[in-house]
Structures are given as structure tokens and as C-alpha cells.
């Protein structure tokens, strides 16, 4: 049985944060990259691709799932799977279990092959009229040995001024909680409200600041913006103009730094392909989609959104060498 949300864990406002993102100097040569993703509607679970350079991605395990979803009230899906590591060699995975849930799934592993029991984390169960819990992301803070989790939720009766623009079920804002052990969680609270419907947020650190990439969830927009702050939990600046191609409907951003290049991957869901934008200064962006290779492009097994993480090259080599049992 899941333990109840606890008041014991508080949100730290400052400190050194680990985002599963290569550090500001770029990743060392013994680093590889894993992309956790789903296919279809997320029915069969966790898929993983690997890359040595962040551009050429190859499906692992013969394109088969590493973990079949078993939690969730109704749909029992595994959408938007995202992984992060702490300092103990354990990788934590969270995902969307359904499109109308008040929580998301969690499991952990040391090798991406053998996973712990799956649990449902009911992060929004204490918030009445919550319609959904979407696109969870995690951030680890070594100083406090705790994780910050962010996600998007629409709560009926809140932000009613934008209900008409988005529809009540999609009028999302970004919420957060913290945990040290994935058993006890701080009460959920509002993390980011830019004044319009927003979802699919990801945060990373660069140049001494924190950057938040998020999707404008207004139905006719569905593009990515970026804002920044001096602290992880500070007031984020007014977001810059969209940096994804005009007219392209996107979701599920995931960011990483490789060398001196920042790459933001996204799911161009309406056109059914994955894409990526690149920047060296987080101001000027270049569409590098044509340089990318993603698993299953042009087929029903195409890669859907999830998360990217830098890992030791030996882990990727082990996953390439042997299929999951």
C-alpha cells in the first residue's frame, strides 16, 4: 500500500541540482545517452534507445519493451517515461499511467533490465477536481538528497480565465512535489503559471541560471517556449518567443547538453515524427531534425516522447550486448 503524502519534506530553493543533463562542460568521453520513450498509446511499456552523439538513435532490446505497465486506475499505460539517477546508482522512472489520473507511476532499476515493483504515486489526490496528471519530470538535488518532481495538471475551478482558450480538461499549469525516497512526498503546489495553459515542462541549468522549457498548451499554438530564473524555484522570466518551427504542433520536450551544444528534443505529434532544436547560447535556435535518426520513424512503432539522460558508456554497451530476459 502506498504511504500518504507527508508534510515532512520541504522544497529547497537553492543548491546544486542534478538534472540527468550533461554538465556545463559537456559529457566526458566515456558517456553515452539513453532515450526512454513509448510507442503507440503506451500500452506495452518502456522502450529505450541509445546514442553516442545525441543525433543517431538506435532502439535497444530489438525495439521491444523493457517494462510492461501494471499500475493505474483504468488505462494502465506507460506514456512519457522519464528516468533520472541520484548518487546511489539507482535510476528512477516515472510515467503517465493514463490521461485522466491523479498520479503517475514509479519504478527503479540499476541496469534498465531488472525493475522494482511498480507503484502509483497519487500526487494530486489531495487536490479536489484534478482532471489529470501529465508529463512528469524529475530533478535531483545532491545537497539535500531529494528529488523535485514537476508535472502538468488541470484543476477544475482554477485559472478559469483561460478555460475558454484551452478547455477545462486541458487548462493545465505546472505543479511540483519533493521526495527523498519515493515513499513520502511533500504536498503538491503550483510551480509555474505563465498566465496561459502550459504543460510538458522540463528544467535544466546553464550559465549559472535555471531554464524551463514548456509547451504553450493553447490548442491552436502547441509550441515550445523557454524562460529562466536565478533559482530553481524562483520567478521565471517572461518566456521568450517560441523556438520550435512555426505551425508545428509539438509536445514532450527533453533537454540535454552535449559538448557546447544544447539539444531540445520534441514530439511533432500531429505530423507523427520526432524533432530537435539546437542552440549554443539558448537564444538562437536551429532546427536539426533533418540531421537526426530516431527509431521507427514513418511506422506505427515510431518513438514517442519521454526523456533523455547521460549514462556511463558501459551501461549502454551492456544493454546493446544482451536483450532483456
Domain 31-321 is of which CATH architecture? 5 Propeller (2.115)
C-beta atoms surrounding 87 within 10 Å: 9
For 172-202, the pLDDT digits (tens) are: 999 999 999 999 999 999 999 999 999 999 9
DSSP state, residue 164? H
pLDDT at residue 6, rounded to an integer: 33
Question: What's residue 28's pLDDT?
Answer: 54
Q: What is the pLDDT of residue 77?
A: 98
Which pLDDT score is estimated for 27?
53
For the record, the C-alpha cell of 195 comes out as 498566465
Of residues 55, 15, 78, 33, the one with CA closest to residue 309: 33
Q: In this structure, how many other beta carbons lie within 10 angstroms of the beta carbon of residue 299?
A: 9
**Range 122-151 burial, b when 16+ CB lie within 10 A, else e:** bbbbebeebbbbbbbbbbbbeebebbbbbb
For the record, the C-alpha cell of 39 comes out as 510507442
Q: Provide mean pLDDT across the span 239-258.
A: 94
Span 216-232, pLDDT tens digits: 999 889 999 999 999 88
Q: CA quadruple 44, 325, 94, 302: dihedral positive or negative?
A: negative
Count how many residues are written for the chain.
325
The C-alpha atoms of residue 70 and residue 117 are separated, in whole angstroms, by: 9
Q: Mean pLDDT score of the chain, rounded to an integer? A: 89
What residue ranges in the chain does DSSP mark as E strands? 31-37, 47-51, 58-59, 79-85, 91-96, 104-109, 119-121, 134-141, 146-154, 172-179, 189-192, 198-206, 209-216, 224-229, 251-258, 261-268, 273-279, 286-287, 307-312
Amino acid at each position: 500500500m502506498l504511504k500518504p503524502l507527508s508534510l515532512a519534506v520541504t522544497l529547497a530553493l537553492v543548491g546544486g541540482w542534478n538534472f540527468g543533463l550533461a554538465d556545463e562542460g559537456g559529457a566526458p568521453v566515456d558517456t553515452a545517452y539513453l532515450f526512454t520513450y513509448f510507442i503507440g498509446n503506451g500500452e506495452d511499456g518502456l522502450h529505450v534507445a541509445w546514442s553516442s552523439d545525441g543525433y543517431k538513435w538506435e532502439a535497444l532490446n530489438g525495439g521491444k519493451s523493457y517494462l510492461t505497465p501494471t499500475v493505474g486506475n483504468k488505462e494502465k499505460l506507460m506514456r512519457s517515461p522519464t528516468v533520472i539517477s541520484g548518487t546511489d546508482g539507482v535510476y528512477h522512472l516515472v510515467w503517465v499511467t493514463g490521461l485522466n489520473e491523479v498520479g503517475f507511476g514509479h519504478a527503479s532499476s540499476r541496469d534498465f533490465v531488472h525493475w522494482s515493483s511498480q507503484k502509483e504515486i497519487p500526487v494530486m489526490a489531495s487536490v479536489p477536481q484534478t482532471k489529470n496528471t501529465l508529463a512528469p519530470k524529475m530533478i535531483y538535488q545532491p545537497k539535500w538528497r531529494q528529488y523535485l518532481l514537476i508535472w502538468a495538471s488541470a484543476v477544475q475551478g482554477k485559472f478559469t480565465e483561460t478555460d475558454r482558450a484551452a478547455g477545462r480538461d486541458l487548462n493545465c499549469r505546472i505543479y511540483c512535489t519533493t521526495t527523498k525516497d519515493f515513499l513520502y512526498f511533500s504536498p503538491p503546489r503550483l510551480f509555474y503559471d505563465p498566465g496561459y495553459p502550459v504543460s510538458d515542462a522540463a528544467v535544466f541549468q546553464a550559465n549559472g541560471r535555471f531554464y524551463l522549457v514548456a509547451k504553450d498548451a493553447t490548442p491552436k499554438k502547441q509550441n515550445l517556449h523557454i524562460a529562466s530564473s536565478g533559482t530553481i524555484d524562483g520567478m521565471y522570466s517572461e518566456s521568450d518567443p517560441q523556438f520550435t518551427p512555426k505551425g508545428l504542433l509539438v509536445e514532450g520536450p527533453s533537454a540535454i547538453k552535449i559538448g557546447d551544444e544544447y539539444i531540445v528534443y520534441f514530439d511533432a505529434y500531429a505530423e507523427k515524427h520526432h524533432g530537435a532544436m539546437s542552440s549554443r547560447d539558448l537564444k538562437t535556435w536551429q532546427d536539426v531534425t533533418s540531421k537526426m535518426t530516431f527509431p521507427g520513424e514513418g511506422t506505427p512503432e515510431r518513438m514517442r516522447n519521454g526523456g533523455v539522460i547521460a549514462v556511463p558508456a558501459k551501461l549502454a554497451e551492456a544493454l546493446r550486448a544482451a536483450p532483456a530476459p
